[in-house]
Structures are given as structure tokens and as C-alpha cells.
Amino acid sequence: MNETKKRAFITGITGQDGSYLAELLLSKGYEVHGLIRRASTFNTARIDHLFSDPHVEGNKLILHYGDLTDGSRLVTLLGAIRPDEVYNLAAQSHVRVSFDEPEYTGDTTGLGTVRLLEAVRVTGLDCRFYQASSSEMFGATPPPQNEQTPFYPRSPYGVAKVYSYWITKNYREAYGLFAVNGILFNHESPRRGETFVTRKITRAVARIAAGLETELYMGNLDSVRDWGYAPEYVEAMWLMLQHDEPLDYVVATGAAYTVRDFLELSFAHVGLEWEKYVKFDERYLRPTEVDALVGDANLARTKLNWVPQIKTPELAQIMVDNDVRALAAGGGVWVDKVVRHG
């Protein structure tokens, strides 16, 4: 391995954020190692465009099979790779699904973090550690939410993320590890998983506009979220690990929109009225809902100079445009180009 360039290890590299983070780190000259799960089908569609033949000299993206439920594998991997930076993005990340699979969610989204931290500790790595914490930890505590806001999680997912938040902080205090929590509010993109609400809406808009569908079944339209643009949020992750001090940061746009607003923004972008197509299905309700999440990212602005450029209305347009293009291209995997302002 080349000893001069920085080396990063990313869990969850096949997910939305992992793919943008891998892109960002490769553009900065990092050697990027990613953890992928063995599956019976390919699960690397979001990162295939970054991959090059491992036999070719200068290959900078290296993938390793493993799983956050397999602690000994994490130890052997980290011991062999010896990264400078570790980004823990892997999780069972769907809130509704966490009510169906609470134990598995606790195992991956919660205990997975301590397995990875232990792997860092026992291999004696001198590295920096990023934990993908979530605004879902605030749950029932009303907005605006910042780093001082008390946690009140409302799902097995939120509870598991609270465990991961505290165990990350504990390893920082107990072992002096440079470990930080990025408390990220909802962030979306054309690569967002298809069952999260924004992508579900923008995909449906593309299909309805093309005459392929006539209905969209949804749950609670009243919940308020602060939706930002994922490529900007992965930059905040990287900035946290470059700072002198290991601090925890809220990352958000600070603007509030309801699910109904997102429907309006997305359908209107192709000249349609959402009320004509959207129907209610109670299966998309959660046993306990998080009513409103709106972040105050003042600390990230002052300490990291991180300021989001893309707000929810533009985000909806970016996502609809990409889903329209993806459909026109045959409906297969569509790798978007990152939008940058300024």
C-alpha cells in the first residue's frame, strides 16, 4: 500500500451517503476502503462508476466483504487496512422497518458501532472516527434542535442511534479516541433509497408524468422535516474529522417543510396537481411518529464554515429531474452528477 496518501475506511459505502463520501474522498486523493455485504445479487450499483480493475496499478477504491454484526471480521480488516479515518455509515436505516425488525436494528444500528469502535481500540489504531448519528435521536423534543437538545427517540432505530451516539462519546472520553458524532438531519438525493419518502414521491412523479402510473399511496403528510442535499452533508462529515477538536455537530438547513409541501413541490415541477394522485394507506404510518425535526446548525457554520447551498425546493427539482431522466434511460440505475453552487 502507498504510505503517503490518506487512507479511509467506510462502512455503508454502498448506501446513499457512502457513495457520495467515497466520491469526495477519492477526489481528494484518498485511498478508500469500503465494507460491503455479501449478497446473492450485486449491491454496488451506487459505486460501480468509481470502481476500477484491482489488477490495475493506482486503483484507489478497494472493497472488502464484511458485516457490522461480525466483530472479529472488523478487527482483522482494520488491522490489515490501518486507516487514518473511519466513517461508520452502515445501519439498518429505515425508521418504519425498525418497528418490524427492532432486534436486528439494535444489533446493526446500535451494537454494530461498538463492534467497530472495539476493532479500532484493540488494533491500537491512531485514527479518527466518524459516527453517523441522526436527528431521529431528538424524536419528540420540539424544534429547533441543536447539540444541547435532549434526546427522546420514538422508534427502535432512534433508540439504537442514541446508543451509538453515547458509545462514540464514551470511547472519546475513556480512550482519548478522536471520535465525533455528526447529528445529520434528513438529507436526500437522486441516490436516496426508493422507500424513503422524498424518493418515493419523486419516482412516482416521474412515472405518473410518463403515464405509467395513476396513484401514489402515502402515510402521514403532516410530519415536518428539514431536507438537505446529501453531497453537501458528506462534506460536513469530512470537515468534522479535519478539525483540531473532536466535537459533535448538528448538520441541517434550518428550514421546515411538511411531507405535503414536498408532494406539492415535486408534482408542480412537472405541471401536475398532487391531490389528483395521492391516496392514503395506513401501512405507511408508524406506531409512534416524529412530528417535527428542524435543525440549528450554527456550530457547524462557525467551527467548520459549513453552509448548505441547496434547500428543499431545489432539492425536489433535482430529484424529480433525475428520476425523469432515469426513466427515459430505461429505468435502470442512474448515477447522478453532483450539483454545486458557488
Binding residues for ligand NDP (CB under 6 A): 11-12, 14-18, 35, 37, 43, 67-69, 89-93, 108, 132, 134, 184, 186-187, 193
Of ligand NDP, ligand GDR, none, which one sits near residue 69, judging by CB under 5 to 8 A according to partner kind?
ligand NDP
The answer to whether 157 is a known catalytic residue is yes
Q: Which of 23, 136, 188, 232 is catalytic?
A: 136
Q: Which is nearer to ligand GDR, 73 or 260 (CB)?
A: 260
Which one of the listed residues 19, 133, 134, 135 is annotated catalytic?
Answer: 134
Nearer to ligand NDP, 68 or 236 (CB): 68
User: 145 or 317: whose CB is closer to ligand GDR?
Assistant: 145
User: At closest approach, how far in Å is the CB of 92 from ligand GDR?
Assistant: 9
Minimum distance between the CB of residue 67 and ligand NDP, rounded to whole angstroms?
4
235 is catalytic: no
Residue 218 binding: pick among ligand GDR, ligand NDP, none (C-beta 5-8 Å cut-off by kind): ligand GDR
Decide whether 289 or 321 has the Cβ nearer to ligand GDR. 289
- Indicate which residue of 87, 130, 157, 233 is catalytic: 157
Rounded to a whole number of angstroms, the minimum distance from the CB of residue 96 to ligand GDR is: 6
Which among 265, 263, 262 has a CA at the least distance from the CA of 216? 263
136 is catalytic: yes
Shortest reach from residue 184's CB to ligand GDR, in Å: 7
Query: C-alpha cell of 147?
Result: 447539540
Binding site for ligand GDR (CB under 6 A): 93, 95-96, 134-136, 185-186, 195-197, 200, 218-220, 223, 225, 259, 284, 286, 289
Residue placing its CB nearer to ligand NDP in the complex, 98 or 209: 98
Residues noted as catalytic: 134, 136, 157
